[in-house]
Structure 1
Amino acid sequence: MFRIAHLTDPHVGPLPRPAIRHLLGKRITGYVNWRRGRREAHDMDVLAALVADLREQAPDHIACTGDICNLGLASEWPSSRLFLDGLGSPETVTFVPGNHDAYVQKSLAGLLKAVDPFACGDEPRSHRFPFLRRRGPVAIVGLSSAVPTAPFVASGKMGRTQRRYAEELLAGLAKEPLFRLVLIHHPPHVGGAPAGRNLTDAEKFEAMIRKVGADLIIHGHNHVGSVAHIEGPQGWIPVIGAPSASARGGALTHRAGYHLYTISGEPGAFRVEAELRGMDQHGRFCGLGPITMGRDPITFGQVMGLRR
């Protein structure tokens, strides 16, 4: 049995006060949005409570799927590293970036340098993404959909080269007795997010998965939990999104939470159980019920057997 916790979109704060010269281009609109209300949407006390609950569950591994930053400022990189260090060692924590981590040109490179031990594979490669980590019965494949975009755009892209490497990697792993877990920030399926927030090459990602498959794909970005599926060579593959780890929102679907996966069984007959843990109506973190991996696309809080 192997247990993996998945958290995403922590948007670690407080945001350091930026110098005027750092607010050129897209950052000025992002900073205005943050001042007008985004900073109220993410609560560091909530995030601390989530991390405390996560630690109590003592998972074997933790996956963080991006948006650890807010505006991709260099002054955010040390706190991003401290946050990941607080989750655990690089051996037990894996990170892939999101669009806020690549807010402008050079943002992503600086962040990845700061958090490098958490965002690299077990063996050196000629490329950063995809990377591979073997942990117990699980092969963790880290992908990046993080690219700089224009103001008011939060879309992502894998790109041809990364997709080709990912296809080769997943095809090779299919020959090994491992559970293939894919990490990415943006929902990688068609229709996973509206235009301007979507993975722009989702159709090509789906085509790749149809050929080589995977066992489970997890993502963030939408700040709500969700379940969808992509057809693989041997059946439908769950694509599961987690809520923001620091969301203060009062609506059930927008409260902070994370997912806890238990992987058991043998190669060729792996079994996955998933649980949503998050804030209840009293603001306490607890188990909120199992995640149903049926074929119908749904958002948590609707028809997921969620226990309030």
Structure 2
Amino acid sequence: MATLFHISDIHFGAQDSHALDWFARSVREQRPDAVICTGDLTMRGTPREFEAAVAWLSALEAPVSIEPGNHDMPYYWEMWHRLRRPFERFKAAQAQAQRVVAVPGVTVVSLSTIVPAQWRLNWSKGFVTQPVLTRSLEDLNAAPAGLKLVACHHPLIDADTHGSGQTRGGKAALAQLAAAGADAVLSGHVHDPFDMTVDAGGRPIRIIGAGTLSERVRATPPSYNRLEWTPDDGLQVQVVTAS
């Protein structure tokens, strides 16, 4: 059996210290095989926020996989840095805090839905570019048999939540990921958990969203998703709320 904890939107700079301590204690006591973080490590993408996020993630007693979120780029008042080197700080943080996730029978494939600028007013929304999608499809096609998960920040299609990803190219990407054998897509961004099986180009695929461990809650208290998988029983998902 594989046990994975799925977190998102920890938002250092607007973090909930009680929720972060509670989650770290849950990792220490329950010893999951890995933690998957689907983005928004920070609130404004500042060096100080990334330092705090790295310290917390590095202290978790489990391997950690980390995706970028839209808040993990320099904010709008650092426009030159945002447009020229949008992922510099995130990649430095990822290099320090991410540890190889090697769980027998489980593959986690990255799919970035983050771009520094778009032809629409709200740049916080998702966008799937073809080169990024192509690399994810190649990784899926090369993956051994077992559970195949795709990790990204924005929901590729919107669930019934207060927030929205409005991910451009997301629906087409979901169909291609399903065709390549993905079992589920893990995301965050909307700060409320969800778990749905949807039709993607004629194939079923699950979309699973994690809530937040920050003060920026919506309809759900701070929470994380507990994922348990066996070849016989498949993937089971439980939303665990802070106590």
Q: Give the TM interval when normalised to the shorter protein.
A: 0.7 to 0.9
- Give 1:171's aligned residue: 141
TM-score relative to the length of structure 2: 0.84
- Give 1:110's aligned residue: 89
State the Cα deviation string for residues 57-99 of structure 1 (Å, max 9, x = none).
Answer: 210111111101111112322112112102236xx11111100
Structure with larger Rg: 1
Identical residues among aligned pairs (%): 24
- Give 1:44's aligned residue: 17
Q: Is the 8 A contact 1:102 1:147 kept in 2?
A: no
The residue type paired with residue 79 of structure 1 is A
Give the ranges of 4+ consecutive aligned residues of structure 1 lying more than 6 Å apart after TM superposition.
Answer: 191-196
State the Cα deviation string for residues 151-183 of structure 1 (Å, max 9, x = none).
Answer: 75311222110111212221232xx22211111
Q: How do 1:219-234 and structure 2 match up within 5 A?
A: 219-231=187-199
Distance 1:209 1:231, change over 3 A: farther
CA–CA distance in 2 between the matches of 1:184 and 1:191?
Answer: 15
- Give 2:108's aligned residue: 140
Pick from 28, 33, 41: which aligns with 1:55?
Answer: 28
Q: Displacement of 1:199 after TM fit?
A: 1.5
Say which structure, 1 or 2, has more relative contact order (CA 8 Å, 6+ apart). Answer: 2
Q: How do 1:1-308 and structure 2 match up within 5 A?
A: 1-13=1-13, 39=14, 42-88=15-61, 92-104=63-75, 105=82, 106-119=85-98, 134-149=102-117, 152-173=122-143, 176-189=144-157, 197-231=165-199, 235-247=203-215, 249=217, 253-265=219-231, 271-279=234-242, 284=243
5+ residue gaps, structure 2? 76-81
Q: Is the 8 A contact 2:28 2:61 kept in 1?
A: no
Give the length in aligned residue pairs: 233
Distance 1:194 1:254, change over 3 A: closer
Q: Is the 8 A contact 1:216 1:239 kept in 2?
A: yes
Q: Is the 8 A contact 2:125 2:166 kept in 1?
A: yes
The residue type paired with residue 112 of structure 1 is K
Distance 1:118 1:142, change over 3 A: farther
Distance 1:53 1:247, change over 3 A: farther
CA–CA distance in 1 between the matches of 2:207 and 2:135?
Answer: 20
The residue type paired with residue 67 of structure 2 is V
Residue aligned with 1:5, SS: strand
5+ residue gaps, structure 1? 14-38, 123-132, 285-308
